[in-house]
C-alpha cells in the first residue's frame, strides 16, 4: 500500500506541474501586472490542490517507508516530468535529458531492489 501511495504522490506532483505550465501559458506567463489573476486562476489552484494532496500522501508514505528509500524513489517524478513535457507540450527533449531520465530510473530501480 505504501508503494501505491508513493506512485500516486508522484503522479500528483507531475500533474501539478502540467496544470501549472498550462495555466501559465494561458496567461502569457506571470508578471507583476497579472500576478493575482494568475495565482487565483483555476489551473493554478488545481495545481496547488494536487500538490496539497501529494503532500498528504507523502506523509503516509513517510510513516510507512524509510526516507532513504522513499525520497530517492520520488525522483521518478523528474523522469516522468520529462516524458510528460514531451508528450503533452510537444517539447523538444535533447538526448542528454533522455539519458538523465534513464539514469534516474536505473538509480531508482537499484535503490528499490531488495
Domain ranges in the chain? Answer: 2-112
d(CA 95, CA 114): 31
| CB distance 108 to 44 below 8 Å | no
What is the average per-residue pLDDT within 27-54? 96
Residue with cell 496567461: 27
Using 50, 70 and 90 to split pLDDT, how confident is the model at 114?
A: confident
Question: How high is the pLDDT of residue 38?
Answer: 95
Q: Which cell numbers in the block locate residue 65?
A: 517507508
Q: What's the sign of the alpha-carbon dihedral 35, 41, 44, 48?
A: positive
For the cut 90, the answer to whether the pLDDT of residue 97 exceeds it is yes
Using 50, 70 and 90 to split pLDDT, how confident is the model at 33?
A: very high
Amino acid at each position: 500500500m505504501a508503494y501505491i501511495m508513493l506512485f500516486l504522490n508522484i503522479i500528483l506532483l507531475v500533474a501539478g506541474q502540467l496544470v501549472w505550465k498550462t495555466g501559465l501559458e494561458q496567461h502569457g506567463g506571470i508578471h507583476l501586472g497579472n500576478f493575482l489573476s494568475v495565482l487565483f486562476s483555476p489551473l493554478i489552484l488545481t495545481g496547488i490542490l494536487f500538490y496539497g494532496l501529494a503532500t498528504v500522501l507523502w506523509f503516509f508514505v513517510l510513516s510507512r517507508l524509510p526516507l532513504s528509500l522513499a525520497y530517492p524513489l520520488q525522483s521518478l517524478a523528474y523522469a516522468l516530468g520529462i516524458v510528460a513535457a514531451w508528450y503533452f507540450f510537444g517539447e523538444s527533449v535533447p538526448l542528454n535529458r533522455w539519458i538523465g531520465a534513464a539514469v534516474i530510473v536505473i538509480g531508482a530501480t537499484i535503490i528499490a531492489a531488495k
